[in-house]
Structure 1
């Protein structure tokens, strides 16, 4: 084994860290310099959580198999009625039952 880390790998990690830091601090600096947030920017910022959740859930729902898709549907419906922690519990129970039944 030549070295613990290759120089190229370390540079990629450093570049990723710098890019992450700049995007996070850039948003803070941008918002603090404004006296008032424009309505379009506020609407875009309000849409971010739903967009992130969709990018995390959609691929699993499409490619995860029948058990995952059914569990997400059940969790969605249960989530309309109860809070987050019980919904996660119900989703866990449903996926375990489906995986036992389906195989």
Structure 2
């Protein structure tokens, strides 16, 4: 196996960019005052990103998976994470057994 210098340089540059982005965010946040509205907005980012990643897959795989995604989202509003995941697993298993497409 040979290592192309350009490939190695690209990998190192991407690693440096990733580390610098993360470290700079941690350093710069100490100089910023976060109000209540900004805190709510920051707390909404992870679920929004998760839905942006999951929704397209859940909506094109099949009816059982779509129902499971909906059930999991609804369960996550009231139940702990483990219970919401268990709800999704149960719904997709029952859905696949009942819905034969």
Same fold (TM over 0.5): yes
Counterpart among 48, 60, 63 of residue 60 in structure 2: 63
Does 1:95 find its partner at 2:85? Answer: no
Question: Number of matched residues?
Answer: 100
Q: Find the partner of 2:13 among 11, 15, 40.
A: 15
Gaps of 5+ in 2: none
Q: CA deviation at 1:79?
A: 2.4
Q: Distance in 2 between matches of 1:6 and 1:60?
A: 36
Q: Where does structure 1 lack aligned partners over 5 or more consecutive residues?
A: none
CA deviation map 1:40-91 (0-9, x unaligned): 6545423322322222222222222212111011112222332111121121
CA distance in 2, matches of 1:16, 1:61: 31
Relative to structure 1, is the Cα distance of residues 68 and 12 closer, same or farther in structure 2, using a 3 angstrom cutoff? farther
Cα RMSD after superposing both structures: 2.5
* Structure 2: distance between partners of 1:61 and 1:50: 15
**More RCO (CA 8 Å, sep 6+):** 2
Within a 5 Å distance, the mapping from 1:1-103 to structure 2 comes to: 3=1, 5-34=3-32, 36-37=33-34, 41-103=38-100
Q: What's the TM-score once normalised by structure 2's chain length?
A: 0.74
